[in-house]
Structure 1
């Protein structure tokens, strides 16, 4: 005989269970916790049968007794009138309302068992009545018994279990008023989980009907379905699940470099492999939906697999601090608590210095325009900055922000001479610069001035104390806490942009220097901080070749340029979408055109900690459909790689 398994189930809004999917022996239990209902089903069938209609997780009697108490008073229903056994269906009306009306903690269960032995007993009884050739009433009774046998019969195990006898009596009264059949009650005491489990399991029909002939409640097959009604979340206080509109085709991911990230709504394990992450990861969802927890989970799992380098940029600061305390050997940088400095003007490493200078200037002009918001006023600031930067690089590989600001002021005052004075355009720009009112010039460069005047900013950006080459070494974990609430949004954007750029060029330099391309995972929370950099689009399309893999997260699509959204969706192998607003649901439904309509409905109704996962297929693998994942949290069990 197949063993009976206990499950904790969660009704889905808009779906009704098909009792035929529960098998021929099952028990339906409702636990009133005192304020809400919990639903349990014990059946011989596998979880997949239940998961078609409800969310399911395996449960144990030990877990159940933690809620009900270990020593319980148990009461089982027996029929008062033996004629009810032969002629009347025992039906308990609306079990969820019955359990809710209990008003205090208590467990109410109905066990259902279908066995042909019961049919044979009824056929035998009918034949006996007919042979007796009794009264016309006897023949009518025999026909009624035969009719019930032909429809199929189930035995019922109606029971309650509570901590006190007063509540037990209340349960007996509730059952009695909910049925047209009269009951008498047999009481027991369950002192161990094993004893309770003995009462929870459905009856073994043949045994019970022979030992207690005429005492066991019986019901026709059609009426079983009337009793198997799950609590309606619109009426009863019960933990429920939203209807899953997406399939649960979980991609197969096994191997030493694979790890669990969560489970489907029905408990199937969902795993990712390092090869999935190496195709870049895109995470999006509203604040509080679970993005940060997922990023932490990835850091833990990738670090546990070993061999890869991880760099985390956290513009809030909390995640980096938590990871630093959770993972030994990590290197934490914080502008205040663990000070570091980083010079945005450092030349990237390249064999051709002139090329490096040109690249550095182009990048810096974009940073200054987007991060520092330097505007074009009476003087062409962009042109001026280009010439000044080239002049500064002619004397140093690491000029500073203060050097840049002071040089521009020196040009204005006539204390500094730069550039080719035979160049008409340069002479004209210098002339326009020097004709500006001093206040107008300071206003034009107001966002650059603090990096020359403020001691904290000057020290933070005057040199690079971070060893980027070491950061890319195998097994390293580097955490950048850049709390924008402390350093300000503009500085946080500048530092974030600089880290991304330096990491990119350090990865580019490895092949030329003959260094191994150790996988580097660059995790960027608040991705919008760097989304305006034209370099980002290049990194998404080219970085994999150099062993650099991006994992980016932000709140909504309006934070980043439209063209970049398309590039990100095209160039990321893993997409994880938490709850988003309707407009974003429309845009993000394109992650799988075949399921676009279902995705639009699903993405706006996800609960916290749940997300839609879309993984690109591996070579030779059909592209897996999107699926809903209940994500694990860092520190939860069962998450070892392998």
Structure 2
């Protein structure tokens, strides 16, 4: 079976690596952003030129990511969205060059770079925004490009300048193919240990990877349904790594054959729209000991077999479960979890090394590529003058 596990702590990934059977060794892909020597490339602006709808998905996903990280309803606004939407659209309209996230701030801070991209843009609406709106607002006005620039670029600076993040998001080509991982039923293990890379970077990478997986799942619509192989996506601390687009998968999971297994600690952590999508579509539910408020919300899923007190007073390692078997809900029951099996630490080391050599790129080569890209663009801008 194909599977992806997103772990914000790292311990689960370490345990799983030591349990992988020999016949699946070559299927393992380990995404570990703390590996500074051989970073894996993750370019979220990379889309299929034959699927223009992917550009819209990417732009909407990034707007949702910023809303998730910075609560843009309070600190953003329609003009922020308008500027960012048109900046990303402008970059992705250039079919000759694959953009990366580090190019987005340059649209705002480098006027010559902006004009170069406009000269190659085939989209009249994007051109009109920049030439008739953004570049026409007088300096000093609130919505002038000069005033908006630091506000937008500052949202990117924290991870573009980060030693862990830059070599990952600055690579033109993603070094892992998410659609291929799904179709070939590989094992993708995502170690987002917050203690190593920080909370913000962990959340951002998790959101980017979930977005990539969703886009890959949506692209499977081109395959006959019987040819779509099940792919299982496990997300720990689910609430930190999802945007509203996850509701589509929750409601149409069977169509895309992306099976979600999600865990979180409190109902209140979920946005209303996402909470409704979960409880309106979930097939299997397992609940360990919860607090009073969560018990009040969850009890309706398990009545009349169990009540709120049962849920509040569960013993350690004991859970209440309700399953969907052949599309028929079972009677709720209690279950006790088994102790975790002991893995082989030597196998874990071997698999991590195999994965980084297969999918990672030496940091020196990445930095050289970035330097050459900037140098070439500087030369191109001089020629334009």
TM-score calculated relative to the size of structure 2: 0.74
Counterpart Cα distance in 1 of 2:19 and 2:262? 21
Distance 1:500 1:369 in 2: 16
Q: Structure 1 CA distance, aligned partners of 2:250 and 2:77?
A: 37
Distance 1:529 1:591 in 2: 24
Cα 1:408–1:592 shift into 2, 3 Å: same
Q: How far did 1:609 drift?
A: 0.9
Per-residue deviation, 1:487: 1.4
Q: 1:430–1:449: structure 2 CA closer, same or farther, 3 Å change rule?
A: farther
The structure 1 residue matched to 2:245, chosen from 508, 531, 535, is 535
Query: How far off its partner does 1:634 sit?
Result: 3.1
Task: Evaluate the alpha carbon distance shift between residue 461 and residue 611 of structure 1 in structure 2; reply closer, same or farther with a 3 A threshold.
Answer: same
Task: Tell me if 1:405 matches 2:105.
Answer: yes
1:436–1:362 distance in 2 versus 1, CA, 3 Å = closer
1:309 has 2:309 as partner = no
CA apart distance, 1:377:
5.8
Query: Between Structure 1 and Structure 2, which shows a larger proportion of strand residues?
Result: 1
2:317 maps to which of 597, 609, 613: 609
Question: Superposed, which structure 2 residues align to 1:450-469 within 5 Å?
Answer: 450-463=158-171, 464-469=174-179
Q: Does 1:627 align with 2:333?
A: yes
Q: Work out the CA distance in 2 between the residues paired with 1:377 and 1:511.
A: 34
The Cα shift of 1:474 comes to 4.6
- What are the residue-to-residue correspondences of 1:507-522 with 2, within 5 Å? 507-512=217-222, 516-522=227-233
Distance 1:475 1:513, change over 3 A: closer
Could you say which residue in structure 1 is the equivalent of 2:41? 341
Matched, 1:449 2:157: yes
| Deviation string, structure 1 residues 439-468 (Cα, Å, up to 9, x no partner) | x84355323113433343211112321121
Distance 1:408 1:364, change over 3 A: same
Is structure 2 residue 281 aligned with structure 1 residue 571? yes
| Structure 1 pair 625–568 and aligned structure 2 pair: CA distance change class (3 A) | same
CA shift, 1:336, in A, is: 2.1
In structure 2, the CA distance between the partners of 1:475 and 1:385, relative to structure 1 (3 Å rule), is closer
What is the total number of aligned residue pairs between the two structures? 319
What is the CA-CA distance between 1:343 and the residue it aligns to? 1.7
Residue in structure 2 matching 1:358, options 56, 61, 67: 56
Tell me if the contact between 1:613 and 1:626 (Cα under 8 Å) persists in the aligned partners: yes
Asked if 1:555 is matched to 2:261, the reply is: no
**Residue 384 (structure 1) aligned with residue 87 (structure 2):** no
* Counterpart Cα distance in 1 of 2:194 and 2:284: 28
Q: Structure 1's 565 and 341: CA in aligned 2 closer, same or farther, altered over 3 A?
A: same
TM-score by length of 1: 0.46
Task: Describe the superposition over 1:250-275 as per-residue Cα deviations: whole angstroms up to 9, x where unpaired.
Answer: xxxxxxxxxxxxxxxxxxxxxxxxxx
Between the aligned partners of 1:428 and 1:589, the Cα distance in structure 2 is: 58
Give distance in 1, aligned partners of 2:138 and 2:113: 12
Does the Cα contact within 8 Å between 1:574 and 1:616 map onto a contact in 2?
yes
Q: Distance in 2 between matches of 1:519 and 1:422?
A: 44
- Tell me whether 1:486 sits opposite 2:196 in the alignment: yes
> Which of 1 and 2 has greater Rg?
1
Mapped to 1, the partners of 2:113 and 2:184 lie a distance apart of: 49
Cα distance in 2 for partners of 1:618, 1:385 equals: 46
1:558 positional shift: 1.3
Structure 2: stretches of 5+ with no match in the other structure:
119-126, 343-385
Aligned residue number for residue 383 of structure 2: none
Residue 566 of structure 1 and its aligned partner are, at CA, apart by 2.4
Relative to structure 1, the CA distance from residue 586 to residue 480 in structure 2 (aligned partners, 3 Å threshold; closer, same or farther) is: same
Within 2, Cα distance between the matches of 1:457 and 1:422?
Answer: 29
Corresponding position: 1:545 with 2:255: yes
Secondary structure in 2 matching 1:343:
coil
Counterpart contact for 2:34–2:164, Cα < 8 Å: no
Match of 2:326 in 1: 618
Q: Which has the higher helix share?
A: 2
The answer as to whether partners of 1:311 and 1:471 remain within 8 angstroms in 2 is no
8 Å CA contact 1:403–1:452 kept in 2: the answer is no
> Higher relative contact order at CA 8 Å, sep ≥6: structure 1 or structure 2?
2
- Kept after mapping to 1: 8 A contact 2:135/2:145: no
Q: Deviations over 1:416-446 (max 9, x none)?
A: 33432686544456854785777x8435532
Structure 2 match to 1:368 = 66
